[in-house]
Chains A and B, each alone.
Chain A
């Protein structure tokens, strides 16, 4: 070639530089890996403790309801359990021919596709929203098993606008670390008990894409109380979730 005559030192400088850079990078990398390993161990212990704590907590919650009922009845009183704070909403109708108000509400609920499901915190505002969209959704009060199974099997998080499966606690920590939610169990706890950081936790969760209910639905077009599927079915939503998850 034309410039084959260029003089080149014994070991080209660029090569030396690259070697050095690589060596320093490698040293740094090893150090970082060791540090990461340590922190990972610590967090893993922490996660274990938290999961244990939640397990206790859920059991206490469950027994508490029972206990309150019993003590009330013993005295001849009535125990009225608190109104549920959490709902799971599933869209059961397609996208054609939807009236604009309903369409907007479904968008706000992130239910843009049939058999998409989301958790919703129940308050006056959201209950009214669910009422508007009633013929298009089936909703109810999920129990712990539903929440856990949904998040474990179909849980995906929204990270940098992508739908990423929750296969690792690191993903959860990255997204929700600042709300001290560092693992999937934390996430489940936050959702199930509707904690202070329910909104970011729930928003992190991509809407659940559920299967068509195994065994079929009754009648999409009528309300649950009429023998159909739409609207609030309270506890029975759990049966539906089992079939759709």
Chain B
């Protein structure tokens, strides 16, 4: 009722534009078709907040009740987890301090009936004693427990669990460009990309290959002159390069993280693969 009057869009929430992602997991409320304000939609068509309706049209009490009860789970979902709904009957007037997550609504027996059968896992329904009395027996079967406890029915649980797992799959990461991130290609998509890239590098830069083939003694002296050697940056098949100072040359080679055990087979024939081990 309150929401209807203030013209918030909560009523239009069930089944409308919210995306799964913005709501997170476990939002059974908006997604279960039973919660859709089905009873009210046709009636509310000419009402405020709907397109083509007037501003302050009259809203019938029953419609108000229907509206509230149907919108309850959706509203409650949109406020956050786990909200508390205090249902109190017309007789009990005591309102405790209302936290932002607590929706208080007045419940009369008739409106309780129209509570959607699928009450969500995260709804904490506190029934004040007086309202318990006024609950019709039919309703109490579905909200099947005593005072403040989480309520849910079996059907609900399995739905929610399914939702949770399904929602996880739907959420997706930002795409990374495989042309720039070699890891993505190698790890996921093309295991051959690593060797491919390695071969290409060896092919393109003879200085590296020569460096591979140099004998071990050079490690004792100052690092070999590497003006020609550039730091390798993997980007697009033609690796961009920056010249670095001599000192850093060796380090940059290490960053290539070649799989030297497989390369050593190549250099074995020339009998000078000992240099490989010196880097590591």
Contacts and interface: CB of A to CB of B under 8 A. Distances in A.
Interface of A: 1-4, 14, 44, 47-48, 51-52, 55, 145, 149, 152-153, 165-169, 183-185
* Tier of interface size on chain B: 20 to 34
Contact of A183 (B140, B179, B184, B189): B189
Contact of B190 (A3, A51, A153): A51
A14 B236 CA distance: 58
B188 A153 contact: no
Contact of B191 (A51, A145, A153, A167): A51
A190 B196 CA distance: 19
Contacts, number: 54
A51 B185 CA distance: 12
A3 B141 contact: yes
Interface in B172-191: 175, 177-179, 184-185, 188-191
A51 B189 CA distance: 11
A30 to B, nearest CB: 17
B145 A1 contact: yes
Contact of B189 (A1, A4, A184): A184
Interface string B37-59: 00000000000000000000000
B184 to A, nearest CB: 8
B237 interface: yes
B140 A1 contact: yes
B132 interface: yes
Interface string B94-136: 0000000000000000000000000000000000000010000
A47 B191 contact: yes
A166 B175 CA distance: 10
Contact of B179 (A55, A152, A165): A152
B280 interface: no
Contacts of A1: 132, 140, 144-146
A14 B153 CA distance: 12
Contacts of B2: none
Contacts of A3: 140-141, 144
Contacts of B141: 3
Contacts of B191: 44, 47-48, 51
B140 A152 contact: no
Contacts of B192: 47-48, 51-52, 55, 185
A55 B191 CA distance: 13
B119 to A, nearest CB: 15
B178 A168 contact: no
Given A1-B145, A2-B137, A168 B190 contact: no
Contacts of A168: 188-189
Contacts of A48: 191-192
A4 B179 contact: no
Interface in B206-234: none
Nearest to B177: A153
